[in-house]
Amino acid sequence: ICFVVTKSFLLTCCLPIFLMGMRYYFSRKVILHYLDCALHTDMSDIEQYYMKPPGSCFWVAVLDGNVVGIVAARGNEEDNTVELRRMSVDSHYRGKGIAKALGRKVLEFAMLNNYSSVVLGTTAVKMAAHKLYESLGFKHVGVVEHYSLPGMTHSLLERMFFQLRYHRYRLQLREE
């Protein structure tokens, strides 16, 4: 269509590169802003946000003296659930079972504290993350299209080049 409209082979060849560049720019911008928000909210004071409130906890995976993974749990007394949050494993250590061990730690925590279920939400696009949650027993319970991360501006260009799906998972531990 570009060639038919412009009659320019050069412009037609450059358009996909431009579009991929815009996608990269907006993806990077949104993700970096999200990380900045996280570092100035709950991740800036892990003790206050995850260690002091009842029903919450934070674990760190250490291998050879290096932090290689983290995961948090945040309890919700209203619906007797615990939310698995902030699971992350260093890219150099993925595929070694660290994430599965961290996930199991949260499940063990939830059972010991008599929670009825564990919930989580993820924007992960890699299928490995979704397979991990399913291997831990989580069931996919829904998707929110066009999910907004903290810090998104919702500009027209941002909406054109960056969209997320937010997947929700739940693992029922016992009936209420």
Query: Tens of pLDDT along the chain (176 residues)?
Result: 878 888 888 888 888 899 999 888 988 888 888 889 888 999 999 999 999 999 999 999 999 999 999 999 999 999 999 999 999 999 999 999 999 999 999 999 999 999 999 999 999 888 999 999 999 999 999 998 888 877 778 788 787 777 888 999 999 998 86
Domains in the chain: ranges and CATH: 10-172 (3.40.630.30)
CB neighbourhood size of 105 (10 A): 16
* Residue 44: alpha-carbon gap to chain centroid: 18
pLDDT score, position 126:
84
Q: Read off the pTM.
A: 0.83
Q: Whole-angstrom Cα distance, residue 11 to residue 175?
A: 61
